[in-house]
Structure 1
Amino acid sequence: MLLTVRNIAKSYGAIRVLSDISFVINAHDRIGIVGPNGVGKSTLLRLLTGQEEADGGSFAYAPAVAYGYLPQSTPEFAGSSIDDLIQEAVGNLRQLEERMRQLEHLMSTTAEEELAGLLDEYSSVSTQFQERGGYEINHQIERVLAGLHLDYLPRTRSVQTLSGGEKARVGLAALLLRSPDVLLLDEPTNHLDFASMEWLESYLASYHGAVLVVSHDRQFLNRAINQIFEIDEHRHQLRSYSGNYDAYVQAKANERAKLQEEYEQQQEEIQELRRRIRELRQQASRTHFGPPRDNDKTARFGHEQKAQKSSSSKLNAVEMRLERIEADPIPRPPELLQVNSHFNVEGIASQEVIRLAHVSKGFGNRTLFHDVNMTLGAKTRLLLTGPNGAGKTTLFKLMQKLEAPDEGEVHVVPSARVGYLPQEPSLDPTKNVIDTYRYDQIGFEGEFIGRLIGYGLFRLEDMHKRVGQLSLGQQRKLEIARLMAWGPNVLLLDEPTNYISLDVLESFEASIRAFPGPVIAISHDRWFIQHFAGEIWELRDGVLTQHEPESAALLHASWE
């Protein structure tokens, strides 16, 4: 066992997040943590890394077990260059290697009676060194950087000059090179392109240690995971399911169907017992025997006593049965979350909504793209793909007139109401949920609360929480609610599935497919890509190219 967790509990004020969480992690476990946004998935990882303290319970790593943690938000890195981070990451391997050399020297010079102890330590150290890839560390560095699409960056490059996605991938690379016994990963695929995600899945499949990962990526959970931990939003407890995400979904469906059947059967039994109690009480009140033929009063009294005793015995038995059931009833299966992420807008009338003509854009000496030509019609469905850092987000900013092109023209029809979902949540952390949702809309607070609750994304108790108290996934849901309230007739979606929990994701994807106006989406989510019906355009090496929508997977695989 690498990690043992016993009865961990965590609350924030009156809000219970985790309750009585217990599990064990062994070597080669590949565990995915799922559950609604805000249910405590990231909190659990922070507790296991000591960044937060539990209110109760305990956890313990086995002796000499090392863990490594990748948070959902990219942290600040201590090193000034990429190579600094790499060397810091492999420092433990260098220490193991140095200790091996010291032991080899000692074994060649020590007395025979001390040799056994040195041999035992050498065996332990060399095993760790081998399992963590120490004998091929230089090759391992090149492999990881290439797999995460970082090999184009000079290792002398300052970390501070990297894009957000590049920083996130450098952080993941450093963690993988550290090669801990337990990997704790919070949404590791958010900043990976298609090829890098496939590489990471393969890498984790053969990883020497254990992996505990929070992820909303259904393909990743299907390919890289062999066990699912679900944190229940009602009881705040953890349940374990064997297999990948598809197996988990099927198990949950079977589980719910069985619970629903048992609940309905018990409800029928309760109704039947109550009916039987009413009947027996009525019978007891009507019990009366006429006088016996021999006018024997003693016999008549005996008959009445016997009948009443029998009736009372039956009534007591039925009442006791009902009491036992009602003392510990089968709970009603919780209602499935109904998310109403529907955009109540009319399609845009203009046949040409956004037009880019010979557009070029760069920053400093770097040209992102040149001579870009694109026209969005009233019904356009366009998936914009390409490697990280190619300029896809910048292209979105041009369409919103937040940036100006260096050359060319961007034309947007006056009737266009452009709704933009950014790649990262960007809300004011000091405002509360309802004020953030209503922003500059006019109306009564009760009206906005009713509308926001009606989406199925938040509950009444969430309305006055500060945005800073929300998880990234909850902030993402709030941005989606704001987007729907804005009533756009054009959608620009930058990695729309990032941070959204699986219970909301499919409903949101359906609303995107049903949107009546033009939609442009940037995405590396393979599930989303496979179900997105529309044109596929790739921005790569400064050139925007349209591809046939027959195989996005082949296109992404070509980036390797």
Structure 2
Amino acid sequence: MALISVQNVRVSVSGKPIVDHVTFNLSPGDRIALVGPNGMGKTTFLKTLSGEMEPDSGRVEMAKDIRIVRLEQWQPNQQPTLYETAYQANPEVLKLEQELKHLEAEMADPANADRLEQLVDNWGKLSDRFQTAGGYEWESRVKAGLQKLGFLPERWADSPRTLSGGEAHRLSLLTMILSGAHVWLMDEPTNHLDIQTIGWLEDMVKQSAAAMIIVSHDRAFLDRVATRTMSWEDGSFWITGGNWTQYQRLREERLRQEALQWQRQQEEERRLRTYIDKWRSGTRARQAQSRQKRLDRLTQSTDRPAPPTAVRSLELTHQAQERIGHLPAVKIDHLVLTRGERSWQPVSLTIPLNARFAVVGPNGTGKTSLLEALMSSPMVHWHSDVVPAYLAQTAVQDLPEGVIAMDYAFDLGWDREQIYYLGARFGITQELWEQPLDTWSGGERARLKLLETLMTPAQALLLDEPTNHLDVRMREALERLLAEYPGTLIIASHDRAFLEKISTHTLWSTGTEFIFERMPYRIDRQPPTGN
């Protein structure tokens, strides 16, 4: 039975169509990944499925009495405390709990002695339903979920209004998991989660009986949870069985076949034009006229294949990228990190020039502190021929106000071709370059600072969460850029697919020490046990 049935739906924003001819069913057990670049209209489409927006045409039909939750809707601001927000997340559990308490009060009332047998029978049936809904483990589930998402018991009495954006997202995610809803519409669920918490979320998703549509740029997450994948990133809607990797393989084959079809049609059109030009006024003029009609049908057909998009090779074009051998890029000599009253065990390490370090660990375990120390501590000795460049998570704060973006890029020494070409690969349009930087969104400003760091003449790049605000195609472009980078890379990230493709070494952050492994990061690799 379909929980949601979508029939020939068309969706627009401000009169501009974002997708048309959408037809599919969402059934129990489905976990459908909705993938594609930023700005494709994925969030708008989720709002159409949740009933917040009406489609321009077609039908979105929902099964009777189903509950649908959308992650963005579940901002925890109704209850007075974090604990109450999580505890009140499932209305069915709360309803059954109240009915049980009411029955227990009636059973304890001597005035109901003649009805006691019926009341006990009703209580037993209701208790079975409560147990099936997880009611008897509800308090422990709520407490475990809060702690798993970084809310320790001393914070449970805090107001949800005191939370940061990342914390509010995590609490919203927990209320969705606890909600008992039939359908989850999840918009970037892995945002603000570290790798360990993402693994926990994967388990929760796979254990849930809810049907889901998941918008995410986290390829590793989609590979582990998606049962189907849909998109319209190439201009038309299509849905296929399988996860992200299977979708990507099928998409590449589909694009290859479309390119072949376009090439064959171009060859046919050239052949017809050659014949027409040769015999237009000759003895075969009648045949030439017939071929002209065929050519007209080909060129005017609505099914005419689109030309394939040429993918130009990406490269970092500044002048300080020459290889300078296998010398150590940096030596770390008994570096002791401290933050408030916390301290880490001393770090001593030599990093070769061409090494690519993945710095991996839960939030709050010192990854950013380590990168900052690598740029400033006297215990860190960079080789005289190595200039490091650092992308901090707070780098956007360094951007000036009131400056046209194009002027800012020119001041960095970029030429117009670099500005337009690299900018386009990271979601910065030509129109955006003509606007003041302070009118840009946070994501656009973050992508500009990433480009600025990548284009800095440097033999070592220290990147703190570089894939934040990047969609999948942008992440792939970044991977291609860094694959050709000849210097040292030290990258702190929670993007497992990105780290697996880029890294040659792993530095695990536990919160008390950093553990070095002379092997690339692997998604299925368990972190080593510290001392």
Query: TM class, shorter-chain normalised?
Result: 0.7 to 0.9
Deviates more, 1:84-93 or 1:258-267: 84-93
Q: 1:508 to 1:442 in 2, by over 3 A?
A: closer
Shift of 1:31: 0.9
* 3-state SS, counterpart of residue 482 of structure 1: helix
1:82 — aligned with what?
82
**Runs of at least 5 residues in structure 1 that lack an aligned partner in the other structure:** 110-114, 286-310
Alignment of 1:327-338 (within 5 A): 327-328=300-301, 330-338=304-312
For the residues of structure 2 that align with 1:273 and 1:348, how far apart are their CA atoms?
A: 53
For the residues of structure 2 that align with 1:37 and 1:437, how far apart are their CA atoms?
A: 24
What amino acid sits opposite 1:243 in the alignment? G
1:229 — aligned with what?
230
Paired residue total = 508
Q: 1:245 to 1:179 in 2, by over 3 A?
A: same
8 A Cα contact 1:9 1:56, kept in partner: yes
1:360 — aligned with what?
337
User: Are residues 1:318 and 2:291 paired?
Assistant: yes
Q: 1:244 to 1:436 in 2, by over 3 A?
A: farther
1:290 — aligned with what?
none
* 3-state SS, counterpart of residue 521 of structure 1: strand
Match 1:434 to one of 405, 416, 419: 405
Shift of 1:225: 0.3
For the residues of structure 2 that align with 1:453 and 1:226, how far apart are their CA atoms?
A: 34
1:200 — aligned with what?
201
What amino acid sits opposite 2:83 in the alignment? D
1:395 — aligned with what?
370
Alignment of 1:326-475 (within 5 A): 326-328=299-301, 330-338=304-312, 340-342=314-316, 344=318, 345-346=320-321, 351=328, 353=330, 355=332, 357-363=334-340, 366-367=341-342, 369-401=344-376, 409=379, 417-423=387-393, 426=396, 434-435=405-406, 438=409, 440-441=411-412, 446=416, 449-450=419-420, 452=422, 458-464=428-434
What amino acid sits opposite 2:194 in the alignment? D
* 3-state SS, counterpart of residue 173 of structure 1: helix
Shift of 1:75: 6.0
Match 1:554 to one of 499, 515, 525: 525
* 3-state SS, counterpart of residue 40 of structure 2: coil
Shift of 1:376: 4.4
Render the CA deviation track for 1:275-321: whole Å, top value 9, x for unaligned: 33334433248xxxxxxxxxxxxxxxxxxxxxxxxx63x44433322
Query: Percentage identity across aligned positions?
Result: 26
User: Are residues 1:217 and 2:218 paired?
Assistant: yes
Larger of the two Rg values belongs to structure: 1
Task: State the Cα RMSD in Å.
Answer: 4.4
* 3-state SS, counterpart of residue 486 of structure 1: coil
Deviates more, 1:483-492 or 1:207-216: 483-492
8 A Cα contact 1:193 1:387, kept in partner: yes
Alignment of 1:491-506 (within 5 A): 491-506=461-476
1:295 — aligned with what?
none
2:280 — aligned with what?
281
For the residues of structure 1 that align with 2:264 and 2:505, how far apart are their CA atoms?
A: 51
What amino acid sits opposite 2:11 in the alignment? A
Q: 1:153 to 1:512 in 2, by over 3 A?
A: farther
Q: 1:222 to 1:443 in 2, by over 3 A?
A: closer
Alignment of 1:115-194 (within 5 A): 133-134=134-135, 136-142=137-143, 144-145=145-146, 148=148, 150=150, 154=154, 156=156, 158=158, 168-194=169-195
8 A Cα contact 2:316 2:454, kept in partner: yes
* 3-state SS, counterpart of residue 174 of structure 1: helix
TM normalised by structure 2 equals: 0.78
For the residues of structure 1 that align with 2:167 and 2:529, how far apart are their CA atoms?
A: 20
Shift of 1:224: 0.4
2:109 — aligned with what?
none
For the residues of structure 2 that align with 1:10 and 1:421, how far apart are their CA atoms?
A: 37
Shift of 1:440: 4.6
Q: 1:544 to 1:226 in 2, by over 3 A?
A: same
Render the CA deviation track for 1:119-161: whole Å, top value 9, x for unaligned: 9xx99x9999677544542343355456x45476545364678
1:294 — aligned with what?
none
1:299 — aligned with what?
none
1:266 — aligned with what?
265
8 A Cα contact 1:41 1:231, kept in partner: no
